[in-house]
A and B are shown apart, each in its own frame.
Chain A
Amino acid sequence: MKIELLYWDGCPSHPEALELLQTVLAERGIEATVELREVRTDSEAEALRFPGSPTIRVEGRDVDAFGAEGRPALTCRIYYLADGRVSPIPSREQLEEALR
């Protein structure tokens, strides 16, 4: 299974996202290497269709299809939780769903 975590260093959320991702992978017994990729420039963001940090793709598919449509930018990405709250990282449920 190919998992990519794209991040921009100007946003502090990717370590927390990586930790949650690795926790969910371990809980589900999935052996996979998470490929970390830093996005450094606007042109890289455009080329990678990077809508903000962090962006997690499982087999090339974004864990949050709605947010994946956002404008490519070096920015912190917004995730919406099931209860309507805003979060800078995907929810556990979004990650679990993406890993099914």
Chain B
Amino acid sequence: MSIAISETAPSFSLPGVDGNSHSLEDYGDASALVLVQSCNHCPYVQAWEGRLIAIQQDYAERGVHIVAISSNDVSSHPEDSFEQMQARAREQGFNFDYLYDESQSIARALGSERTPEVFVFDGDRKLVYHGAIDDSRNETAVTAHYLRDALDAVLAGEAPAVADTLPVGCTVKWRS
């Protein structure tokens, strides 16, 4: 079960595909922080990847930071190894940080179940939205832009009208 709305973002310090370590405190100046439970291998993640890049691009000037985190067990899904994460970020031109949660501690702290699954934290790092990026993996069929709407609300100092949706995607691959 994921963390509840208004709970505080869990602390973390994780290696990023850029070769640097990234902690929650490193994003201290962000007006909103979007943690995305993600991975390489999942077709749902891949279907939404371009939209995440576009959202980061559209909201960067307003201080929004997207941070994707992969926690998957690489023994069952070697496509999600750190080296493969670096390759994917390079190939797809990620404009957001992509971190490796090898111990799966952040996935557990967030209560993540799916990839992709988003957690939007406001300036005080309180959770204000959890769930799906939008309402369809097929970009041409999207009618509700949950993540964009949540970010617009946060930036306006308001609570998102929709705070919780059901993420659709692959399961997080837990270690056995």
Contacts and interface: CB of A to CB of B under 8 A. Distances in A.
Contacts of B42: 76
Interface in B17-72: 41-44, 46-47
Given A10-B170, A11-B170, A88 B77 contact: no
Nearest to B79: A75
Given A12-B169, A75-B170, A76-B170, A88 B76 contact: no
Contacts of B105: none
Given A73-B76, A73-B77, A75-B77, A88 B43 contact: yes
A88 B44 contact: yes
B41, B43, B171, most chain A CB atoms within 10 A:
B43
A78 B43 contact: yes
Contacts of A75: 41, 77, 170
A85 B141 CA distance: 14
Interface string B57-97: 00000000000000000001100000000000000000000
Contacts of B43: 13, 76-79, 86-88
The number of chain B residues touching the other chain, given as a range, is 10 to 19
Given A73-B76, A75-B77, A86 B171 contact: no
A25 B43 CA distance: 25
**Interface SS of chain A:** loop
B107 interface: no
B47 A86 contact: yes
A42, A77, A78, most chain B CB atoms within 10 A:
A78
Interface string A73-96: 111111100000111100000000
Interface string A38-66: 00001000000000000000000000000
Nearest to B168: A12
A10 B46 contact: no
A10 B76 contact: no
A94 B172 CA distance: 29
15 contacts: A12-B168, A73-B77, A74-B76, A75-B41, A75-B170, A76-B170, A78-B46, A85-B47, A86-B43, A86-B46, A86-B47, A87-B47, A87-B137, A88-B44, A88-B47
Interface of A: 10-13, 42, 73-79, 85-88
Among all A-B residue pairs, the 5 with the closest Cβ atoms: A88-B43, A86-B46, A78-B43, A76-B170, A10-B171
